[in-house]
Amino acid sequence: MTTATATKATTTTDERTLEELQREHGPALLSFLLGLTYGDRQRAEDLVQETLVRAWLHPEAFSGAYASMRPWLFTVARRLAIDARRSRLARPAEIGDGVLAVTPDPWDATESAEAALDVRAAVRGLSPEHRAVLVRLYFHGLTVSEAADDLGIPAGTVKSRSHYALRQLGRSLPDYRPRRGVIARPRAAAAQ
Question: Which residues does 142 contact at the CB level (< 8 Å), separation at least 6?
Answer: 136, 150, 186, 187
pTM of the model: 0.43
pLDDT of residue 158: 94
pLDDT tens digits for the chain (192 residues)? 444 444 444 577 778 888 888 899 999 999 999 999 989 999 999 999 999 899 888 878 777 667 788 888 999 999 999 998 888 888 877 777 776 677 666 677 777 787 778 888 888 889 999 999 988 998 899 999 999 999 999 999 999 999 999 898 888 886 655 544 444 444 444 444
- Alpha-helical segments (H) within 106-176: 109-124, 128-134, 144-151, 155-172
- For 15-90, CATH number? 1.10.1740
Residue 85 contacts residue 43 (beta carbons within 8 Å): no
Choose the CATH number for 101-172 among 3.30.360.10, 1.10.10.350, 1.10.10.10, 2.60.120.260: 1.10.10.10
- Going from N- to C-terminal start, the domains of the chain cover 15-90, 101-172
